[in-house]
Structure 1
Amino acid sequence: MGTDTDEVELSKQDLREVTAFAAACAETALEIFEAAQPDDTRPRNAIAVAWAFARGGERGKALRDAAWAAQKAANSTDSDAAREAGRAAMAAAGAAYLHPLAKATQVKHILGSAAHAARASELAAGDPTVGVQHIQQAADRVSPAVIAVLKRFPAAPGGGGRVGELVRLLDNALR
């Protein structure tokens, strides 16, 4: 592990692996968003575009636009659980933009979708143990390639409220 100014080696395949993991995590919370906003397809589209990149598509404007649209969808709902589910979708599309800088803040590009999905699930259930279970399921789902990418970065930073706690819980589990 280096300093905050060191660069991390990231291949396009590394980005695809991280994005596939993020998309799979976001899918687990999509029904929470759609239950609250059944006519809003922006989070579903963000996950679809993330999968398209993960499966060999290009990283470009469509991916960025889908991520921003999912964020806007998240901000448009009154449901806290749906908001977090929308953010999980945004994070899935944004995972393709993991920066090759050895900064702890980059860990959220890798694990943020899982943490937002876990938060959405615990809010929907009204039970924080559901979020912890969700994180354990994400840890079981992660590929060795994603863990290898994660280990190139410093540990997740402090802060970030409950989502930050969930990021750190998953980060610790995977290291």
Structure 2
Amino acid sequence: MEPRTTPSLRPHLDLPLAKIRAVTAFNASCADLVLGLFESEHPQDARPRDAVDAARAFASEEPRSRRHRTSAVSAHRAAKGRGQCASHAAMAAGDAAASAYLHPLARATQVGHILRGPSHAALALRKKAGGNVDHDRSLDVFLERVTPAVVEVLCLYPQPSRGTSEVSGVMSSLDSLIRRMAGRQC
């Protein structure tokens, strides 16, 4: 199907809700890997857990609702003023809930809804390890969670440019590795 265009927006993509749910399931799976890093330091703060629970519920057919937006923002707020490891874990949780709002617009910025959460999760694990890990090998645990549906969705979007932040660098690496895994599909 050819993307449709409007004068003020870039082309719209054919992006069924089932594919968005797959992206959210991937994000929740990645956030699950590091959620304990936040909870061990801040056991009384349930905001990141609530965000991952909201993401899982959406991935399991719950309709999108205000719950997903508010839990994402709350988890992101929980990240503020925390140590780097806990902060990245909370951001991964918030991004998992926010991934339910991936838009079908052919913009590279939308790749953040797909890969920013896993990138924060990767950084949380790196910070826990003291940074003494090989960059690409540290992404293997996240690449193992990538499903064909996630690859298909990622390949709909243009590849984003590499930014200057640490998260952007990891996101760019994940994007390249997944596209390379997809081979000619992307």
The TM-score normalised by the length of structure 2 is 0.88
Bigger drift between 130-139 and 65-74 goes to 130-139
Q: Is structure 2 residue 38 aligned with structure 1 residue 18?
A: no
Unmatched 5+ residue regions in structure 2? 180-186
Name the structure 2 match of 1:5: 10
> How much does 1:134 deviate?
3.6
Number of residue pairs aligned between Structure 1 and Structure 2: 174
Identify the residue that residue 30 of structure 1 maps to in structure 2. Answer: 35
User: Given residue 64 of structure 2, which amino acid in structure 1 is its aligned partner?
Assistant: R
Higher relative CO (CA 8 A, sep ≥ 6), structure 1 or 2? Answer: 1
- Please state whether the residue corresponding to 1:6 is helix, strand or coil: strand
From 76, 79, 87, the equivalent of 2:91 is 87
Deviates more, 1:99-108 or 1:87-96: 99-108
Taking only aligned residues, the RMSD between alpha carbons, in angstroms, comes to 1.8
Matched, 1:107 2:124: no
Residues 6-60 of structure 1: CA deviation (Å, up to 9, x unaligned): 2121111011000000000011111111122111111011001100000000101
Moved more, 94-103 or 152-161: 152-161
Q: Which has the higher helix share?
A: 1
List runs of 5+ in structure 1 lacking aligned partners: none
**Percentage identity across aligned positions?**
39
Indicate the residue corresponding to 1:122 in structure 2: 126
Rg larger for: 2
Q: Which contiguous aligned blocks of 4+ residues in structure 1 show a shift greater than 4 angstroms?
A: 1-4
Aligned-partner residue type, residue 38 of structure 1: P
Q: Where does residue 162 of structure 1 map in the other structure?
A: 166
What are the superposed Cα offsets for residues 75-121 of structure 1, whole Å, 9 maximum, x if unpaired?
Answer: 1x431111111000010000010111111111110011110000111
CA distance in 2, matches of 1:70, 1:78: 12
Task: Give the partner amino acid of 1:172.
Answer: S
CA distance in 2, matches of 1:128, 1:161: 19
1:51 to 56, 59, 64: 56
